[in-house]
Amino acid sequence: SDPPRSDAVESTADDIASMEIRGAATIARAAADALATQAREAATESATPAEFERAMRRAGRRLYDTRPTAVSLPNALRYTLGRMEGDDVEALRDSVLAAVSAFVDRLDRAQNDLGRVGANRLRDGDTVMTHCHSTDALACVEAAVEQGKDISAIVKETRPRNQGHITASQLRELGVDVTLVVDSAARRYLDDADHVLVGADSIAADGGVVNKIGTSGLAVNARERGVPIMVAAQTIKLHPDTLTGHTVEIEMRDEAEVIDEASRADIGDITVENPAFDVTPPRYVDAIVTESGQFPPESIVTLMRELFGESADRPWEG
């Protein structure tokens, strides 16, 4: 029979799937925290080390299966479950707890460090255009504000879920002057922007940036306008499977996010598609800002090899 699964894992997985918990870095942290709770519970419930390991892997699979695109989630599982070791249940538990706390520390540090790198690209008086809501991108603005720079923002609302509202409110808390626009107004307002600043859910070995649907169109328009495109992404966004030729799966979400049932019925027999992410080709990206400094997208593969080697293990399987 299957080992019991922690309520914390169940509710975290449900919240990730329903986007109560969302954004690549936030998802990674929540998954790691849920695994810590699972480790504590599994330590009291497991009679043998094998049983403990089975419970942890099962929890990992439940979290892995929630949303497919943000690689920070499998990378969080990789980091924490990959460090699970010990001859007895207590040692195994302690190894997972230590790995989770190291992982969460690294997340915090990475975001602060990349924020300072990104802030160096922003000058006093600059305006950034944002898409969706990215904590990595906001860290750059926050650091720039801390450096005493006056920053303004044009915030795209980001249909269908309007994550731009979260960005707008958090930028306001930083004291940034915010103008909210509908997505289709982006090109018009690029004339007023000095940077496009977005986050990433995954970055592929060729430097392609997977982020919220609409990022690629924004980047193409920005290039045409001569506005530099900066992607703020800590290294847990690097997708190691792409080193071996795998592609990044783009999540398709429910049509109910796009259109209500009544309107759909009025229109008649149509297809509604709701992809959550798209890929911005590396040639439209000027800089990827990480905690290890900024990189042209073409160089990101070197960093990826350094951090992950040639292959990515999947400790939640097996």
Taking CB under 6 A as the rule, which mask of x and - marks residues 74-103 in contact with ligand RUB? ------------------------------
Give the residue, chosen from 33, 113, 201, 291, that forms a contact with ligand RUB under the rule CB under 6 A.
201
Residue 136 engages ligand RUB in binding (rule: CB under 6 A): yes
Candidates 30-38, 120-128, 193-201, 282-290; binding stretch for ligand RUB (CB under 6 A): 193-201
Please identify, using beta-carbon distances, which residue of 15 and 94 lies nearer to ligand RUB: 15
Any residues with CB less than 8 A from the CB of 89 and at least 6 apart, and which? 42, 43, 46, 48, 49, 52
**Cis bond leading into 160, ω under 30°?**
yes
Applying CB under 6 A, does 113 fall inside the site for ligand RUB? no
Considering the rule CB under 6 A, would residue 132 count as an interface residue with ligand RUB? yes
Least Cβ distance, residue 22 to ligand RUB (angstroms): 4
Nearest in space to 199 (alpha carbons), one of 76, 4, 40, 26: 26
22 belongs to the binding site for ligand RUB (CB under 6 A) = yes
Taking a C-beta distance cutoff of 8 angstroms, is the pair 135, 108 a contact? no
Q: Of the ranges 95-103, 127-135, 172-180, 296-304, which one interacts with ligand RUB (CB under 6 A)?
A: 127-135
- Cα–Cα distance measured from residue 177 to residue 175, given in angstroms and rounded to the nearest whole number: 7
Q: Please, are residues 282 and 298 in contact by the beta-carbon 8 Å criterion?
A: yes
Q: Active-site residues: which are they?
A: 132, 201
Q: Is 25 in the site for ligand RUB (CB under 6 A)?
A: yes
Strand 202-203 with 209-212, pairing: antiparallel
Q: Whose Cβ is closer to ligand RUB: residue 62's or residue 237's?
A: 237
- The rounded distance, in Å, linking the Cα atoms of 180 and 168 is 7
* Spatial distance between the Cα atoms of 56 and 100, rounded to a whole number of angstroms: 13
Smallest distance from the beta carbon of 236 to ligand RUB, in angstroms? Answer: 9
Q: Is there binding between residue 13 and ligand RUB (CB under 6 A)?
A: no
Residue 17, sorted as left (phi over 0), alpha (psi -120 to 50) or beta, turns out to be: alpha
Residue closest to 23 by CA, chosen among 80, 73, 98, 62: 73
Nearer to ligand RUB, 6 or 134 (CB): 134
Q: How far is the CB of 2 from ligand RUB (least distance, A)?
A: 29
Tell me which H or E stretch contains 231. Answer: strand 229-232
Q: How deeply is 185 buried, as exposed, middle or buried, from its count of CB atoms within 10 A (0-12, 13-18, 19+)?
A: middle
Longest dimension (CA), the chain: 64
Q: Could you give the angle at the alpha carbon of 301 between the alpha carbons of 300 and 304, nearest 5°?
A: 90
| CB-count exposure of residue 305 (10 Å: 0-12, 13-18, 19+) | middle
Binding string to ligand RUB for residues 250 to 289, with x set by CB under 6 A, is what? --------------------------x-------------
User: Which span (21-29, 175-183, 220-228, 240-248) binds ligand RUB, by CB under 6 A?
Assistant: 21-29
Q: Rule CB under 6 A: is residue 70 a binding residue for ligand RUB?
A: yes
Q: Is 107 in the site for ligand RUB (CB under 6 A)?
A: no
Name which position in 8, 24, 36, 99 contacts ligand RUB (CB under 6 A).
24
Q: Which residue stretch of 113-121, 194-202, 259-267, 303-311 sits at the interface with ligand RUB (rule: CB under 6 A)?
A: 194-202
Contact status: 297 vs ligand RUB (CB under 6 A): no
Q: Which residues bind ligand RUB (CB under 6 A)?
A: 22-26, 70, 132, 134-137, 163, 199-201, 211-212, 276
